[in-house]
Amino acid sequence: MRILVTGGAGFIGSNFIHFIIENRPTWQVVNFDSLTYAGNLANLEKVAKCKNYMFFRGDISEPADVKAIFSESFDYVVNFAAESHVDRSLYQPDVFVKTNVVGTQCLLNHALEGGVGRFLQVSTDEVYGSLGPEGLFQETDALFPNSPYAASKASADLICRAYFKTYGMPIIITRAGNNYGPHQFPEKLIPFFITKALRDEPLPVYGDGLNVRDWLYVRDHCAGIVRVLEAGRAGEVYNIGGENQMTNLEITTQLLEALGKSKHLVHFVKDRPGHDRRYALDCRKIENELGWQPEMEFRAGLKKTIEWYITNKKWWHDITSGEYLKFYELHYRDRK
Ligand code: NAD
Ligand code: TDX
């Protein structure tokens, strides 16, 4: 099998490549990534010399780059490449439309021309919008995205659907909940708070801290994607959730306890504009049809994640001293 992984230098993409090299050692993996602020080849140091792994730097929204990669054919394409941080999308929505919408369409176009066995679009629960206190998102629900990020991912999902219906392309969409685990860029809640708490810096909890997310350990997500790729039905959508709903405040408290840090580090700050209240996924389809289930219990996953950030301080020191801080200084002063 030859598999093209886009966005493989990011958080989930790099965990996915490790998962494939370990669990599908006969597959040839090509990683196609433009290396934005979130892409980091240090995430792939352990596999860089493997004979069945190759890196190609390119942008999914640049037709010449995409055409070049599709000069070879692939059995599978998995599209992780995206701008992925909601807060950034509030300030730079244009970049999100370019990569997440135009980029996905560009990839689809060339994959269609080149022929591909299966195209898997990695999507998110955010496309469904926000839930009240009850209920779960179903695959058949209408899409009501609220942030520019969520709207760009929903648009990509719709373009995928159109390529399946119109051209018969073998496309499958997966929609996952909030991932956590090693190698996550320290702008997302869990690694942001771990790296801040380790420096005894205040943890900025947005609003009342009672927004709920469904947390999924990244390795469980990768296993779910492989299951869908190999056994899912073309044209279908599969939710992949951790079945673990928690408020941001619960996460923060557990994290401080695990690190042995004071709860006085919690600082309530101005809410994120358009902040979705709750996400939660109904995962019966992937469970009943494909036999996938999340395996990692949250406390154990959080412990593993914290240990990784403690052991890999250089990885996040290199990041938090660079471009990322400049973005925060520019846009986040008014949140304090
Ligand atoms: P990430 O921001 O850590 O990584 C994104 C990767 O894509 C980076 O390596 C970056 O360099 C690359 N990239 C960005 N723009 C590109 C472009 N134009 N061309 C080529 N490469 C480009 O993101 P992540 O958290 O690993 O998320 C991966 C995918 O999973 C995204 O599509 C995201 O929407 C989806 N997703 C994420 C979560 C989550 O909790 N992180 C949950 C559900 C779905
Ligand atoms: O400093 C913070 N303080 C805070 O209270 C940050 C960074 C976040 N939050 C809150 C906002 C959310 O309610 O924590 C929750 C999680 O925030 P993020 O980590 O930014 O994730 P979220 O906005 O839920 O989106 C994530 O899940 C779906 C990923 O970033 C997306 O890529 C994925 O599609």
Q: What is the dihedral of CA 185, 187, 188, 192, to 10 degrees?
A: 100
Q: Where are the alpha helices (DSSP H) in the chain?
A: 11-23, 63-69, 86-91, 93-96, 104-114, 148-167, 189-198, 218-231, 248-259, 284-290, 298-311, 313-320, 323-331
Q: Specify whether the CB–CB gap between 173 and 157 falls below 8 A.
A: yes
Tell me the pLDDT band of 10, cut-offs 50, 70 and 90: very high
Summarize the confidence of residues 38-47 as an average pLDDT.
Answer: 95
Contact 124 CB / ligand 2 (< 6 Å) = yes
Atom of ligand 2 nearest to the CA of 248: 14
Q: Specify whether the CB–CB gap between 122 and 104 falls below 8 A.
A: no
Question: pLDDT value at position 335?
Answer: 54
Summarize the confidence of residues 12-27 as an average pLDDT.
Answer: 98
- Look at residue 34 and tell me whether its pLDDT is greater than 60: yes
Contact 241 CB / ligand 1 (< 6 Å) = no
Question: pLDDT value at position 331?
Answer: 56
Question: pLDDT value at position 320?
Answer: 74
CA of 260 relative to ligand 1 center, distance in Å: 32
Summarize the confidence of residues 181-199 as an average pLDDT.
Answer: 97
CA of 188 relative to ligand 1 center, distance in Å: 12
Closest residue to atom 10 of ligand 1, CA basis: 39
Summarize the confidence of residues 128-141 as an average pLDDT.
Answer: 97
Closest residue to atom 1 of ligand 1, CA basis: 10
Summarize the confidence of residues 27-40 as an average pLDDT.
Answer: 96
Q: Which of 126, 139, 220, 287 is catalytic?
A: 126
Cα–Cα–Cα angle for 296, 79, 91, rounded to 5 degrees: 90
Cα(87)–Cα(247) distance, rounded to whole angstroms? 18
Q: Specify whether the CB–CB gap between 86 and 126 falls below 8 A.
A: yes
Cα(44)–Cα(61) distance, rounded to whole angstroms? 23
Report field, pTM of the whole predicted structure over 0.85: yes
Catalytic: 45?
A: no
Tell me the pLDDT band of 188, cut-offs 50, 70 and 90: very high
Tell me the pLDDT band of 318, cut-offs 50, 70 and 90: confident
What percentage of the chain exceeds 70 in pLDDT? 95
CA of 10 relative to ligand 1 center, distance in Å: 6
203-to-9, 206, 336 alpha-carbon distances in Å: 27, 10, 11
Q: Which of 149, 163, 217, 309 is catalytic?
A: 149
Catalytic: 236?
A: no
Cα(189)–Cα(86) distance, rounded to whole angstroms? 11
Contact 220 CB / ligand 2 (< 6 Å) = no
Q: Which of 33, 125, 157, 220 is catalytic?
A: 125
- pLDDT digits over 195-249, tens only? 999 999 999 999 999 999 999 999 999 999 999 999 999 999 999 999 999 999 9
CA of 185 relative to ligand 2 center, distance in Å: 12
- Look at residue 324 and tell me whether its pLDDT is greater than 80: no
Question: pLDDT value at position 19?
Answer: 98
CA of 91 relative to ligand 2 center, distance in Å: 15
Q: Quick count: other Cβ atoms within 10 Å of Cβ 209?
A: 18
Contact 211 CB / ligand 1 (< 6 Å) = no
Packing angle of the helix pair 148-167, 104-114 (nearest 10 deg): 20
Q: Specify whether the CB–CB gap between 149 and 279 falls below 8 A.
A: no
Return the minimum-mean-pLDDT range out of 115-124, 218-227, 327-336. 327-336
Question: pLDDT value at position 322?
Answer: 61
- Look at residue 256 and tell me whether its pLDDT is greater than 90: yes
- Look at residue 56 and tell me whether its pLDDT is greater than 90: yes
Question: pLDDT value at position 327?
Answer: 55
Summarize the confidence of residues 125-143 as an average pLDDT.
Answer: 98
232-to-2, 33, 209 alpha-carbon distances in Å: 18, 26, 37
252-to-194, 218, 263, 266 alpha-carbon distances in Å: 9, 19, 9, 8
One-letter amino acid of 89: S
Question: pLDDT value at position 319?
Answer: 82
Summarize the confidence of residues 137-153 as an average pLDDT.
Answer: 98
Cα(106)–Cα(112) distance, rounded to whole angstroms? 10
Give, for 185, the enclosing helix (H) or strand (E).
none
Packing angle of the helix pair 298-311, 248-259 (nearest 10 deg): 60
> Among 219, 114, 108, 99, which Cα is nearest to 172's?
108
Atom of ligand 2 nearest to the CA of 178: 27
Catalytic: 126?
A: yes
Domain annotation for the chain: domains and CATH numbers:
2-180+215-240 (3.40.50.720), 189-212+246-276+298-331 (3.90.25.10)
Summarize the confidence of residues 186-199 as an average pLDDT.
Answer: 97
- Look at residue 151 and tell me whether its pLDDT is greater than 80: yes
Cα(82)–Cα(78) distance, rounded to whole angstroms? 12
Summarize the confidence of residues 149-167 as an average pLDDT.
Answer: 98
With the most atoms of ligand 1 within 8 angstroms of its CB, the residue from 12, 174, 281 to mutate is 12
